[in-house]
Amino acid sequence: MEKDGRHHEPVYEPAIEILQDPEEEVSAGIFVKGGIPIESSDGTTYEIRNRVVLCRCGASKNKPFCDAAHIVEVYKDK
């Protein structure tokens, strides 16, 4: 947020996108934007954000969020 209260980024409409990383030639995370709530398996709701990326390779050390481990894992969806 800027000093005058304005946000740095646009406010996204709610959407979920499957990401690919063509530069690294791997499949990337799941882009969740627009304040969609994320709930853990035990029912805990994470802080609602304008945008987050969820892990889909299974190797993130910050699950359920992506930490770019898909690059090291050379994760490719089928």
For residues 70 and 57, the answer to whether their CB atoms sit within 8 Å is: yes
pLDDT of residue 6: 74
| Average pLDDT across the chain, whole number | 93
Percent of the chain scored above 70 by pLDDT? 97
User: Domain extents for the chain?
Assistant: 15-73
| Cα gap 13→35, rounded to integer Å | 8
Q: What is the pLDDT of residues 11-61, one digit of tens each?
A: 899 999 999 999 999 999 999 999 999 999 999 999 999 999 999 999 999
